[in-house]
Structure 1
Amino acid sequence: MITAATVKELRDKTNAGMMDCKKVLNETNGDIEAAIKLLRERGIVKAASKSDRAATEGIITSRVASDSKSGVLLEINCETDFVSRNENFQAFVAEVADAVASSKAADLDAALEVQKGDINVGDYVKTKVLELGENIQFRKYVRFDAAPGGVVVSYIHMGGKVGVLLEVGTTKEETASQDAFKELIKDLTLHIAAAAPKGLSRADIPAEVADAEKEIYRARLAESGKPANIIENILVGQMNKFFAESCFLEQGFVKDDKVTINKLVEETGKSLGDTITVTRFVRFGLGE
């Protein structure tokens, strides 16, 4: 029997109508993930993006070294918006950020072991749980150390709801001090925050993710009655569109969608007499 709670969960994840949700849940014997896929195949709902999920509260923050050769991005969560806006909690997040940024911690496990006074960061987080009366979690952490010629930059949006860490490479030392380069890397972080690319290039999109999208497109086209050979031709265009929307370098720039990010980077490099490359990025969305 399909419960009301299961129907509500599916509606919360897809925004589909109640009757549609009940129907697909009955068809999939209550399997939420299978029901979501079925709704998408029927064109009733688009893929649920991470930004649509209910987010836990907290703060995303960053620290970048003065020489821009390294940087960290981290997320610390709490239960309520009230606590996230509390000066005590905000000061605590800043202290943790300063501690891990000054260390060489490469990942979250290492960051939790960084010493903060007489205890490590992990135990320091636990003391805040007792003090604030909420479940506090140091949930995500990443560190970038730039390759030779590289620059690390960060951007925090919406007061700590979204954070970006980006590494960009150059071949000329003087490029990093040029205004055009500074404007470029600022624009790139703003774009990542707004567009939420799934990967840098097609190589970063897992094959299973791309294959799942392709099967959803194929199912929709098959329902329309199109011949198999026509469907395969259409799928090529559909998948190119999927990659153009998902891959950072292929996305249209948010300030001018007629220009791809790849083209923007290339043209800026030419204007500076350099070859600029986007090495890597990470984007945190609160609670994602």
Structure 2
Amino acid sequence: MAISAQLVKDLRERTGAGMMECKKALVEAEGDIEAAVEVMRKRGLAKADKKAGRVAAEGAIIIAQSDDARRGAIVEINCETDFVAAGDDFKGFADEVAQRVLEDAPEDLDGLMALKLASGDDVETAQKALIAKIGENVQVRRFARYETSGVLASYLHGSRIGVMVELEGGDEDLARDLCMHIAASNPVHVTPDEVDEALVAKERDILVEQAKDSGKPAEIVEKMVEGRLRKWLGEITLVGQPFVKDPDQTVGKLLESKGARVVHFTRFEVGEGKEKKQENFAEEVAAQVKGS
């Protein structure tokens, strides 16, 4: 029978298994997703199935660079606990995945998951095997890859924050200083021109409403709004931020003095945007007592 792509996607999200494994199970179960889950359990995938829905908000940022510093890769891989993130199994898998990104240049996450590792397994299969072995959910979450004729540098703050910067002009020392600045100051964009116009308009509306309460004349309110908007744009863009090593000058002024331009940067922080599960044992015990 024909199995829809949506059905395969639903089973994949539920189990964390590969697309082909999900499709085979659905064919065998004649399109019944519950029966397909049972099929996968019988094939020894139950443990990974059970773990795949759990929140993975710990993990590591991994960076790989070519010897000539012309190519680089930065990857975030998540697990459930920092204990597992520090283990050799997790770190070995993470390092190998980062190397594949560097060497094979996948276009997207699906492309990365299909790449072959040294074991002969693809990344997705190896990830599932790791889940089964360590008993925690593991997710390859995101990556960025660089290839440049300019200057490329990276910085890891422990294993939780990673930054990669591409420069036009300047040198490696400047690029590394900028990596450390970005790790500390977390800019969203390089320049104000890159900030979405709708976001700027929304911020302006908020500032106008705030300024109206001042009771000042309209022309003064307008100047107040524009001043505050410039300040906000400076805070969220790299070139507007005070340089961490010399707060008396902005990063923009530093770049100008060095004849350099930031082409692009990536800053990954472990678990960024993910909601960590908060355990409340008192509530858990109360629920169990109530249930009994």
**TM-score, length basis structure 2:** 0.70
Q: Work out which of the two has the higher radius of gyration on C-alpha atoms and give 1 or 2.
A: 2
The equivalent of 2:226 in structure 1 is 236
For 1:96 and 1:220, locate their aligned partners in 2 and report how far apart those are by CA, in whole Å: 48
- Give 1:118 shift: 2.2
Q: For structure 1, which runs of at least 5 residues remain unmatched after alignment?
A: 1-53, 176-180, 270-275
2:103 matches 1:119: no
- Give 1:247 shift: 1.0
- Work out whether residues 64 and 72 of structure 2, in 8 Å CA contact, stay in contact via their aligned partners in 1: yes
The equivalent of 1:220 in structure 2 is 210
- Give 1:250 shift: 1.8
- Work out whether residues 107 and 142 of structure 1, in 8 Å CA contact, stay in contact via their aligned partners in 2: no
For 1:111 and 1:151, locate their aligned partners in 2 and report how far apart those are by CA, in whole Å: 25
The aligned runs of 1:163-182 (5 Å cut-off) are 163-170=162-169, 181-182=171-172
Q: For structure 2, which runs of at least 5 residues remain unmatched after alignment?
A: 1-54, 273-292
- Work out whether residues 55 and 286 of structure 1, in 8 Å CA contact, stay in contact via their aligned partners in 2: no
Secondary structure of 1:119's counterpart equals: coil
- Work out whether residues 188 and 236 of structure 2, in 8 Å CA contact, stay in contact via their aligned partners in 1: yes
Q: Say what the alpha-carbon RMSD is for the aligned residues.
A: 1.8
For 1:204 and 1:107, locate their aligned partners in 2 and report how far apart those are by CA, in whole Å: 23
2:244 matches 1:254: yes
- Give 1:106 shift: 3.5
- Work out whether residues 79 and 85 of structure 2, in 8 Å CA contact, stay in contact via their aligned partners in 1: yes
Secondary structure of 2:104's counterpart equals: coil
Indicate the percent of aligned positions where both proteins have the same amino acid: 35
Runs (4+) of structure 1 exceeding 3 A deviation are: none
The equivalent of 2:12 in structure 1 is none
**Of 267, 280, 288, the match for 2:257:** 267
The equivalent of 1:192 in structure 2 is 182
The aligned runs of 1:1-288 (5 Å cut-off) are 56-116=57-117, 117-146=119-148, 148=149, 150-157=150-157, 159-170=158-169, 181-269=171-259, 276-288=260-272
For 1:143 and 1:108, locate their aligned partners in 2 and report how far apart those are by CA, in whole Å: 12
Secondary structure of 2:262's counterpart equals: strand
- Give 1:55 shift: 8.7
| Equivalent residue letter for 1:183 | D
Secondary structure of 2:166's counterpart equals: strand
- Work out whether residues 56 and 138 of structure 2, in 8 Å CA contact, stay in contact via their aligned partners in 1: no
For 2:193 and 2:126, locate their aligned partners in 1 and report how far apart those are by CA, in whole Å: 39
Deviations 1:254-274 (A, max 9, x none): 1111111122122223xxxxx
For 2:92 and 2:101, locate their aligned partners in 1 and report how far apart those are by CA, in whole Å: 14
